Structure 1
Amino acid sequence: MNGRFWARHAWTGTLESGVLIEVASGRIVSLRAGSAPADAVILDGLVVPGLANAHSHAFHRALRGATQVGSGTFWTWRETMYRVASALDPDGYLDLARAVYAEMALAGITCVGEFHYLHHAPGGVPYADPNAMGEALIEAAAQAGIRITLLDTCYLSSGFGAEPDSTQIRFSDGSASAWAERVESLKERDHARVGAAIHSVRAVPAAQLGTVAAWADARQAPIHVHLSEQPAENEGCVEAYGVTPTGLLADHGVLGPRATAVHATHLTGGDIALLGGTATTVCMCPTTERDLADGIGPAKDLQEAGSRLTLGSDSHAVIDLFEEARGMELDERLRTRRRGHWSAAELLRAATGDGHASLGWPEAGRLEVGAIADLVTVSLDSVRTAGPLTGAETAVFAATAADVRDVVAAGRMIVRHGVHQLVPDVPSALRTAIARLEES
């Protein structure tokens, strides 16, 4: 897409004012100071790079508000989540995911990493197209105007050595080799790339971890994995294999610069050193980790050990990458009783450039010549943002998703003045899709 955009203020790594951004074929070709030409689209606020949601389970959005009655743990929450999973089919998933991705666009997200394991029909029977559910997600992203990395997830076991249960059988291909054969038929598109994921060390037997890692290595694709989200996972792994989950992944070649460990909440010092030493990225999901009472992960220690940090909305209890960014800092303040672990610029980079890179889009997430033209305008006149403009601090520590006014994805305007241009009534789309699941 081509066009000219004039930003009243822009964050390019520093705060600049009056910036003309010229776009050709979806890329930034010129970025310079100047007055607004007559033919430019005015972006009236603070323009930041497009946000990357590095960890998403789209169907979890149907749970928002429905799991807040009573008490429980991650494991009781999971039972409700499985009931939603059992009701989905490709058409219903397309409708739900389109609405969820449109909600993400309204929040300034231009790329999502979809951690996708809901592969087959109930009972584990493949659809006529074995990738029908994944294709629904890819199409949903296209219809919402954002990019997607489909992190197709290998999920074979309900626990260490245990067969999948009646819901999990939908997730399983039977073996990592069969998983790889199915995923091989997924085709990348301009807006979609394909990566690998290992659900967790409890869901993929140790002997099959290397098959997933080898598939990703052969294609230089991202590989993501849920890691040590719960102490029970650590305990089961040590009992089954004699090492921590991080150690097991390292032993089977999963860790490395293209790998992302999601959550990484309950780690040993040795785990932190392994993740940092292999330059494995870590994706923190503060709003979900709070919502599920998972705990606070050692994000700062991981960064100091050598891991890049990214952010995800995971279960979509909240879809707001500004909240995820400041949540990581605020959780660390609670953990250490000290302020100022990251600058606002560092937190914004986790939500933008580093997030895109972890999803296999290293050319996105920056306002610079040659980058994909993703532009997000944050309003500066809401009750949250009114006041002095300090730069990235205003976006990270004052704004919320509700302050996003305009979103340009690869040069295409997909949100204008707070209205999605492709899915005009996102709340209605969400209500309709979720009601269909409830009827099922």
Structure 2
Amino acid sequence: MVGDLAVKSFWCERAVLPGGVAARVLLRVSDGIIREVREVDTIPLGSQRLHGVVLPGFANAHSHAFHRGLRGRTHDGGGTFWTWRERMYELAGALTPRSYQRLATAVYAEMVVAGYTAVAEFHYLHAGGNEMAEALRAAARAAGIRLTLLDTAYLAGGIGKPVAGAQERFSDGGAAAWARRSGELLPDDNTVVGTAIHSVRAVPREELAAVAGAFPDRPLHVHLSEQPDENRECLEAYGLTPTALLAEAGALGERTTAVHATHLTDEDIALLAGSGTGVCLCPTTEADLADGIGPARELADAGVRLSLGSDQNAVVDPLLEARGLEHGERLRSGRRGRFSPAELVAALTGHHALGRPEAGRIEVGAPADLVALRTGSARTAGAELEQLVLAATAADVAAVVVGGRVVARDGVHEELGDVGGLYREVLRR
């Protein structure tokens, strides 16, 4: 596991505990697990100090690491999600396992510096084997971030269409072949192995159930209703919405996370809530790609558990994702305070979506995965501590701890150094 086996202690100026914000909190940690939580008057000798407010480490519930190569390079000429996708295909076709590992290492290092302690990587660059997956596994370990590797079935180029061009390196040809290859991927001390249905566009109706049921003990993710065209095509082909089609295939349930869920009907929301399916929202990507604003409040009110993801990594800032969730709701509704700060923190720490239900809390038995936010910066000075999530950005992350080991301080990765330097090197190549 990512972490430090030594017994150590962290003194937190303030910490967000399950019961609220507490001051002068001492955490004793061994084997990367919190063993004791108590308030103290005196800082014990040898304790590592975490200033500001300490929260559970943030969970990135949806990432495509290689999309980071497009940041700042797709904004000329306008277009839509579909024209952006062609640029993405070009990038995918140029990657090798070696170059992908270098790029992903930089991306994951940026995530750590920004406060993420775990990431779910929605991985479909198979290229006929698992070399790309192993490159991601190595990148996550180098960056010191916990990885949930979501091996993705991508079997069609659209509803009723074969894969073509760059899509060919995404596909195993069929559900059985995908399951054989995916079954070769095993978890390790830093990696949870999960599965994904890319979308109802990329997995035919007759193969959905086979993919969904292939690994019933693994987390299952799926892109859902990201674009109106997806809904229209699905209705025309099957007479069902994408959500209803997934329900028919047995793909919904408590281990499932639907990503985006932007264009839903009331019946879709009821199906997701009734099955216990979670939803991962990616506000910065949904804005960047002009996807739309999803019914987040309605989903939450129905009992759907929400998480957040950076998706295409055009922005790597968990606090901006949380702010985007609330701001999208304000734009939809004309009202403020649609999500409370506590609800936003819960979405930021949605490790359940990553197959890590033990994480996301500062309490005995939880992983010692922590993020400390400055309270006196130009952005956060004067903010009420309970509302810090609506004032801070990734620039306010003072320290990040994963498994009891400090992996980043003040915007610099402890092992890999300046993330900008990593990017300059890999993107130059």
Give secondary structure in 2 for the equivalent of 1:5. strand
**2:387 aligned partner:** 393
Give secondary structure in 2 for the equivalent of 1:6. strand
Taking the aligned partners of 1:418 and 1:248, their CA distance within structure 2 comes to 44
**2:376 aligned partner:** 381
1:333 maps to a residue whose letter is R
- Mean alpha-carbon deviation: is it higher for 193-202 or for 300-309? 300-309
1:38 pairs with 2:6: no
Taking the aligned partners of 2:108 and 2:395, their CA distance within structure 1 comes to 15
Check the 8 A contact 2:114/2:411 in 1, yes or no: no
**1:123 aligned partner:** none
1:15 pairs with 2:9: no
1:193-218 deviations in Å (ceiling 9; x for gaps): 1001000001000111111111231x
Give the one of 90, 94, 97 matched to 2:97: 90
**1:429 aligned partner:** 422
Give the one of 246, 250, 258 matched to 1:249: 246
Taking the aligned partners of 2:30 and 2:283, their CA distance within structure 1 comes to 36
Check the 8 A contact 1:11/1:391 in 2, yes or no: no
Taking the aligned partners of 2:392 and 2:145, their CA distance within structure 1 comes to 21
Deviation at 1:418, TM superposition (A): 2.9
**2:343 aligned partner:** 346
**2:206 aligned partner:** 207
Check the 8 A contact 1:348/1:392 in 2, yes or no: no
1:30-86 deviations in Å (ceiling 9; x for gaps): 010012112000111110100000000000111110011121100011111111101
Q: How many residues align?
A: 422
Superposition pairs of residues 360-371 of structure 1, within 5 angstroms: 360-371=355-366
Give secondary structure in 2 for the equivalent of 1:148. strand
Q: TM-score, normalised by structure 2?
A: 0.97
Q: TM-score, normalised by structure 1?
A: 0.95
1:346 maps to a residue whose letter is E
1:314 pairs with 2:311: yes
Taking the aligned partners of 1:216 and 1:341, their CA distance within structure 2 comes to 37
1:73-106 deviations in Å (ceiling 9; x for gaps): 0001111111110110100000000000000000
Over 3 Å counting, the alpha-carbon distance change for 1:91 and 1:185 in structure 2 is same
Give secondary structure in 1 for the equivalent of 2:165. coil
1:378-436 deviations in Å (ceiling 9; x for gaps): 11121101124x22311x10100111111110111101233211211211111211222
1:172 pairs with 2:171: yes
Give the one of 406, 413, 418 matched to 2:411: 418
* Percent of residue pairs bearing the same amino acid type: 57
Give secondary structure in 1 for the equivalent of 2:252. coil
Check the 8 A contact 2:155/2:172 in 1, yes or no: yes
Superposition pairs of residues 196-235 of structure 1, within 5 angstroms: 196-217=195-216, 220-235=217-232
2:37 maps to a residue whose letter is L
Taking the aligned partners of 1:250 and 1:193, their CA distance within structure 2 comes to 25
Taking the aligned partners of 2:322 and 2:386, their CA distance within structure 1 comes to 11
1:53 maps to a residue whose letter is N
2:11 maps to a residue whose letter is W
Give the one of 4, 10, 15 matched to 2:9: 4
Taking the aligned partners of 2:106 and 2:256, their CA distance within structure 1 comes to 29
Check the 8 A contact 1:112/1:149 in 2, yes or no: yes
Taking the aligned partners of 1:405 and 1:347, their CA distance within structure 2 comes to 20
Taking the aligned partners of 1:190 and 1:4, their CA distance within structure 2 comes to 22
1:3 maps to a residue whose letter is K
Taking the aligned partners of 1:61 and 1:426, their CA distance within structure 2 comes to 13
**2:85 aligned partner:** 78
1:50 maps to a residue whose letter is G
Taking the aligned partners of 2:209 and 2:342, their CA distance within structure 1 comes to 37
Give secondary structure in 1 for the equivalent of 2:360. coil
Give secondary structure in 2 for the equivalent of 1:167. helix
Check the 8 A contact 2:105/2:139 in 1, yes or no: yes
**1:262 aligned partner:** 259
Give secondary structure in 1 for the equivalent of 2:69. helix
Taking the aligned partners of 1:239 and 1:434, their CA distance within structure 2 comes to 42
Taking the aligned partners of 2:408 and 2:197, their CA distance within structure 1 comes to 34
Check the 8 A contact 2:371/2:399 in 1, yes or no: yes
1:70 maps to a residue whose letter is G
Taking the aligned partners of 2:271 and 2:377, their CA distance within structure 1 comes to 44
Deviation at 1:369, TM superposition (A): 0.5
Check the 8 A contact 1:275/1:306 in 2, yes or no: no
Provide structure 2 residue ranges, at least 5 long, that are not aligned to the other structure.
none
Taking the aligned partners of 1:62 and 1:431, their CA distance within structure 2 comes to 11
Taking the aligned partners of 2:118 and 2:82, their CA distance within structure 1 comes to 29
Taking the aligned partners of 1:281 and 1:216, their CA distance within structure 2 comes to 18
Q: CA RMSD in A?
A: 0.9
Check the 8 A contact 1:52/1:110 in 2, yes or no: yes
Give secondary structure in 2 for the equivalent of 1:373. coil
Deviation at 1:341, TM superposition (A): 1.5
Check the 8 A contact 2:399/2:408 in 1, yes or no: yes
1:5 maps to a residue whose letter is F
